[in-house]
Structure 1
Amino acid sequence: MMRHPAEPYRIKMVEPLVMTTREEREEAIAQAGWNTFLLPSRKVYIDLLTDSGTSAMSDRQWSMLMIGDEAYAGSSSFDRLQSAVQAYYGFPHVVPTHQGRGAEHIISRILIDPGQFVPGNMYFTTTRYHQEAAGGIFVDVVIDEAHDPHADHPFKGDIDLAKLERLVDEHGAEGIAYVNHAVTVNLAGGQPVSMRNLREVHEFCQTHGIVHWSDATRLAENAYFIQQREDGYADVSTAEIAKEMMGYVDGVTMSGKKDCLVNIGGFLAMRSEEILVKARELVVVYEGMPSYGGMAGRDMEAMAQGLVEALDDDYLAHRVGQVRYLGERLLEAGIPIVTPVGGHAVFLDAREFLPHLEQDDYPAQALAAALYVESGVRSMERGIVSAGRDADGRDRHPKLELVRLTVPRRVYTDRHLDVVADAVIELYRKRETIGGLRFVYEPPSLRFFTARFEPLQVPTGAGPEVSPTRFAQEPALT
C-alpha cells in the first residue's frame, strides 16, 4: 500500500543535476560566508532553499506563455488573470505586482498610519519589514501552540481571539491598521488556519470596523488541510474551500511564486473600491501600469493557469503528502522537527538538534551550512538571524530556532527526498561536531539574505572531514 499518492503527472523534460565533492562544498560555503543564500546554484545538488518561484510549470502553463499579450496598457492577459481570481477567490478587483513583496509594500502604505498596530498570526520577514517601514507596529496574536514545535494542534496558525481583543481594548479600533491573517503560517512550520478561525476573526473585525486582510500565499495548501482536518469539509473540494476562506477576508496579498506555480509575479485582490483606487495609484509609481504591475503578459497567463491547477485535489494530495513523507522519514529516525508536518516544508528544530549551542551562536544558521557541506542540500535558516534586531538594536530571540527544508512543487521525486533524509540523519549522528557562528557582515535590514558569518571555533573532536569549520582561520570574504 502506498504511503502517499504517486505523482499526478508525467515528466516531459529534465534538468541535469551535478553532485559536488565535500571539498568543493567546504570551499563554497566558506566563500558564501556560511550563508546558504549566497551559494551559487551550480554548487547545489538538491535545492530546498525555498518554494518561491521554484515550481515546475505544466505543459498548459508553458503553452499559455505563447499567447501573452505584452501591451503596455489594457493587456488581455490581465483580463484572464483577473477572471481567474474572481472565479476562484471571489474578489472583484485585482492589481498585479512583480511579486508578493511588491503587494506587501503597497498595502502597507495604504492601510497603515504611523504608530498603528498590525496584529498578525506570527510575523513573516518581508511582511513585517514593509509594515514597520510604513510606521506600523507588529503584534503577534497567534495561538501559543504555534511557538511550541511539538504541540499537537491541527491548526497552529489560528489567531488567538483573546489576544486580539486585548489589543483592541487597549488601543481602540482606530489604533489598529488591519489584522493580517496568513494562510498558512510559514515561520510556525507551514501550519494552517482553520475555517472557523477565519470566520470568527472576520466577525470580530466587522464588529469593530477593522480591515481583515490575508497573506494568501499558500492558500491552496491551507485549503487542503481544512479538507483533511476540519469537521464538515471532508467531502468539499479544495477549490470550494479556498473560495469560502477568501469570503471571510477583505482582501489579500499574493505571491504567485508559491501556490500559483510560477517563477515570478504576485497581486493584490480586494473588495473595496477605495483601496483599489489607492493601489492603482501606487502600483503605477512602484511597479507598472495597473494592467501589468511589473509583470509580463505571458507571466500573467501562466499565473492564471497555475492558480487553477494549484486547487486540484489530486495535485494537493501529492504535494502535501510528499512533504509529509520527508517529515515521517525524519521522525522515524528520531530527528527533532516541527509537528504536525506543514504544507510546504519540513522544519528542523535546531535548538534540540544542537543543544550544545546557545541561540546567540546562531545554531540554525550553522546547521543549514553543515547540511550543505554534508550533502549538497541547500536549506534555509528560520530563527534568530531571520528575526533580526528590535528598535534598540538587540537581537530578537524567537522561541522557534528552525532550519527549513522547503520542497519545491512538482520538481523533486521521493528518491531526492530520501537523499535529504539520509543526510539529515547522518548529520544528527555527529551533531556535536557542529560549532556556532558569528557575524562578519550584517546588513541593516532583512539580514538573512546577504549576511556573512564565520565559525566561532573548531568543535572538539571535529576533523576536516566533518565540518566546514576547517576554514575558521581564513579571513571572511566581504
Structure 2
Amino acid sequence: MTTYKSKMVEPIHLPAREERAANLEDAGYNLFNLDADDVFVDLLTDSGTGTMSAEQWAAMIRGDEAYAGSSSFRKLEDAVAEVMGFDHVVPAHQGRGAENVLYGTILEEGDVVLNNTHFDTTRAHVANQGAEAVDCPVPEASEFDSEGEFKGNFSVDEARRVVDEVGAENVPAVILTITNNSAAGQPVSVENTRAVREFCDEIDATFVLDACRFAENAYFVRNREQEFADATVAEVAREQLSYADVAVMSGKKDGLVNIGGFVACRDETLYEHAKQRGILYEGFSTYGGMSGRDIEAMAVGLREAVEEDYIADRVEQVRFLGERMAEQGIPVFQPVGGHAVYLDAGEFLPHIPAEEFPGQALAVEIYREGGVRCVELGSFAFPDSDRPELIRMAVPRRMYHKEHIEHVVETVAAVWDRREEIGGYEVVDEPPMKEIRHFSAELAPLGRV
C-alpha cells in the first residue's frame, strides 16, 4: 500500500511511435543520448531521479549557504552519525565524486581491489588509479532463476584465491557493495558482512562499504536473516555498517536526494587525507560540491530512508513490477532486487550473440514500443567480461504510480511477443575509456532476423 500522497505533479508525454523511432536513430541507439522529454516512463536509473518529501523541501529553505562552517553540514554529520554510525564525513557532489576522493586516497598503481561485484563507475575509478578491479561474487549470483536469499554476497573463498595469487600486500582495499547493483540488485547478509570484516583483518585491508542502497539492503536482511527478524530496518542498517572502516555513499539513492554524496570514515588519519583530496576535487570540507540546501535535504533523507513504511513501499513496488512481468513468461532475475528489475536479455533474445549486444537491442525495443527507458548491463556496458546479458529497469523512489508500472509491463510484454523479429547492433563510435563507453558510444542496427 502506498504510504504517501502527491503534492506536486508534472505532465508527461508519450511520443508517437514514428517519433520514438526517429529519436533512437538520432541518439545513435544509445538511450543515454535521448532527451528526457522524449521518455514516457524513465527507468534508466534510480540515482537522483526520485521525488523528495515535504520535509526535505522545507529543509532546503533552511539551507545554510556559508562557504565554510555551514550549519547544514553539521546537520548532515549528525544524520550520518545517527543513521550510519560514522563520525567523520567528507562531502562530495555525488557518488562518483566520493569514489574519486576515497579511491584516489587509498589506491595506487599496481594495487588489486576486491569487490562482490564492481559497478561501472567504481571499476573505472579503480582503473583510473592504475589498480585492478577483481569481482568476487558468490556462485549463485549468476543463477538467474534460483531463489537464493543473499545472492549479492561476497565470496571470501574466491577472494582468498585471488590473494594467494597476487599477495596480500597488493590488496589494500576490499569493497562490499550493498545491495549488489551489478548482480541484479541482490542483497548482502550481515553474516557475510562479518565474514568480509574478518577477511580484511586477515590481510590487513581497508574494508569499504559502498552504501548507496544500505536501507534497501537492511530491509531484505530484516525479512530474510533470522537473527534480525525482530529488529527495525534502522537497527539492521547500523549493525551492518558497523563492520566497515569507511563507507562511500551516493546520496542520490538512499539519501533520497537529487544530488550529493560523501565518504564516511572512522579512522581520523584516513579522514584527514580524504578531506584534503576532497578540498582539491570537490570543494571545501563543509560543502564538498553541494549547496547548503542540498546538504540539508540529504540529512533529512537519510533518516527517512530507514522509516519502515517508506522502505516497505519502495521495495514492494519494485517486486510488484518484477512479479507482473514474470507472470507474462518474461525472464526476470529471481528473486527481484530492491531498486530494479533485471531481465535476462540472453534468454529473451537467444538468437542474438553477445557480440551483437542483445541487452542493448532489448533496451532499444522497449523504448521503441512504449517510450520506456532502461539500461543495458551486459556486454555493451561491461566489455571484455563474461557477465550475463542483463537489462536493468531501475525504479525512481516515490515517483511513479501503479498505472506507470502497468504501462511498463504491457510494453515489455509486447516486445516479448515479437522478440524473434529483433536484431543486434554494432558499435560505430566509442570513447577511449572502455569502462564508461556505454554512457556515450553510438551504435547501428545490424538488421532484423
- What TM-score do the two structures reach when normalised by structure 1? 0.92
Contact 2:41 2:373 in 1 (8 A): yes
Secondary structure of the residue aligned to 2:262 is strand
Contact 1:149 1:400 in 2 (8 A): no
Aligned counterpart, 1:11? 6
Secondary structure of the residue aligned to 1:386 is coil
1:310 aligns with 2:305: yes
- Which of residues 437, 440, 448 is equivalent to 2:425? 437
**Residues of 2 paired with 1:397 and 1:433: CA distance?**
27
The one-letter amino acid of 1:165's match is R
Aligned-pair CA distance for 1:24: 0.6
Aligned counterpart, 1:447? 437
Secondary structure of the residue aligned to 2:199 is helix
Aligned counterpart, 1:463? none
| Cα deviations by residue, 1:56-106 (Å, 9 ceiling, x for unpaired) | 000000000011110011111100001100011111100000000011111
Aligned-pair CA distance for 1:112: 1.1
1:225 aligns with 2:220: yes
**Residues of 2 paired with 1:165 and 1:180: CA distance?**
14
Secondary structure of the residue aligned to 2:45 is coil
Contact 2:247 2:263 in 1 (8 A): yes
| Cα deviations by residue, 1:92-134 (Å, 9 ceiling, x for unpaired) | 1000000000111111111112111101001210001000110
Contact 2:187 2:220 in 1 (8 A): yes
Aligned-pair CA distance for 1:145: 1.1
Aligned-pair CA distance for 1:209: 1.6
Aligned-pair CA distance for 1:399: 2.9
**Residues of 1 paired with 2:428 and 2:158: CA distance?**
38
Aligned-pair CA distance for 1:168: 2.3
Aligned counterpart, 1:87? 82
Aligned counterpart, 1:280? 275
- Which of residues 372, 396, 401 is equivalent to 1:413? 401
Secondary structure of the residue aligned to 1:438 is strand
Aligned-pair CA distance for 1:152: 2.2
Aligned counterpart, 1:106? 101
Aligned-pair CA distance for 1:206: 1.7
Secondary structure of the residue aligned to 2:438 is coil
Aligned counterpart, 1:129? 124
Aligned-pair CA distance for 1:316: 0.9
| Cα deviations by residue, 1:389-412 (Å, 9 ceiling, x for unpaired) | xxxxxxx13331111111000000
- What TM-score do the two structures reach when normalised by structure 2? 0.98
Give me the CA root mean square deviation: 0.9
**Residues of 1 paired with 2:418 and 2:269: CA distance?**
58
Secondary structure of the residue aligned to 1:387 is coil
- Which of residues 364, 367, 372 is equivalent to 1:377? 372
1:26 aligns with 2:21: yes
Aligned counterpart, 1:427? 415
- Which of residues 230, 237, 240 is equivalent to 1:245? 240
**Residues of 2 paired with 1:373 and 1:321: CA distance?**
27
- Which of residues 274, 278, 296 is equivalent to 2:291? 296
Alignment of 1:182-193 (within 5 A): 182-193=177-188
368-377 or 208-217: which moved more?
208-217
- Which of residues 132, 136, 139 is equivalent to 2:134? 139
Aligned counterpart, 2:54? 59
Aligned counterpart, 1:166? 161
**Residues of 2 paired with 1:260 and 1:107: CA distance?**
19
Which 4+ residue blocks in structure 1 deviate beyond 6 angstroms? none
1:349 aligns with 2:339: no
Secondary structure of the residue aligned to 1:138 is strand
| Cα deviations by residue, 1:241-288 (Å, 9 ceiling, x for unpaired) | 000011011011100001111000000001011111111111111110
Aligned-pair CA distance for 1:149: 1.8
Contact 2:172 2:204 in 1 (8 A): no
How many pairs does the alignment contain? Answer: 447
The one-letter amino acid of 1:372's match is Y
Which structure 2 segments of 5+ residues have no match?
A: none
